[in-house]
């Protein structure tokens, strides 16, 4: 399943959603699309609505590859926020995967949420 996204707020917010399952390839394709998209501005924040996702096809080694892509993104400036909204079971799995990787991007604040409204408040959007 692919991750679809839309650029809003003059290029400073990326809204994305996904279907039933997310694979490493889906995330890598999504992140590379954002990097190449000239409509996305440096310092953008992301709201990833993954409430429909029930299965992750991602392993620990894949998380390191994804983080390397985030690091190479020149639009990632200090303080960037990524809000991922997902079911509790998916949130728990994502947290476990991210916590298992010691290498990280200090420019990105990544937080998992159970509802979209709380994520929007954290991002400062309506």
Name the more confident of 104 and 78: 78
Q: What is the CATH number of the domain that holds 55?
A: 3.30.750.24
Distance, C-alpha 78 to centroid of its chain: 16
**Which pLDDT belongs to residue 55?**
87
For tokens 């408040």, name the residue. 121
Q: Structural domain of residue 93, as residue ranges? A: 3-123
Phi, psi dihedral angles at 59 (to 5 degrees): -115, 170
Number of domains in the chain: 1
Distance CA 20, CA 35 (A): 24
Three-state SS for 55? strand
Q: Is the Cβ–Cβ distance between 125 and 90 less than 8 Å?
A: no
Residue 107 pairs with which residues in a beta bridge?
none
Name the residue among 44, 52, 59 with its Cα closest to residue 9.
Answer: 44
**Which pLDDT belongs to residue 95?**
79
Per-residue pLDDT of 38-64, as tens digits, reads 999 988 999 999 999 988 888 877 887
**Which pLDDT belongs to residue 93?**
83
Per-residue pLDDT of 67-102, as tens digits, reads 777 777 777 666 788 899 999 888 888 877 777 664
Mean pLDDT, the chain, whole residue set: 85
Name the more confident of 125 and 103: 125
**Which pLDDT belongs to residue 78?**
66
For range 23-30, the mean pLDDT: 91
Distance CA 112, CA 74 (A): 23
Beta-carbon contacts of 52 under 8 Å, excluding residues fewer than 6 positions away, are 17, 18, 19, 20
């Amino acid at each position: 399943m692919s991750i679809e996204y839309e650029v809003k707020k003059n290029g400073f917010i990326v809204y994305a959603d996904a279907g039933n399952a997310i694979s490493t390839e889906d995330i890598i394709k999504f992140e590379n699309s954002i990097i190449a998209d000239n409509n996305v501005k440096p310092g953008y924040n992301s709201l990833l609505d993954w409430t429909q996702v029930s299965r992750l096809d991602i392993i620990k080694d894949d998380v390191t590859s994804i983080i390397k892509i985030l690091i190479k993104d020149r639009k990632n400036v200090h303080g960037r926020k990524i809000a991922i909204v997902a079911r509790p079971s998916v949130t728990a799995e994502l947290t476990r995967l991210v916590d298992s990787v010691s290498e990280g991007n200090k420019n990105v604040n990544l937080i998992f949420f159970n509802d979209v409204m709380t994520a929007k408040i954290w991002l400062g959007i309506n």
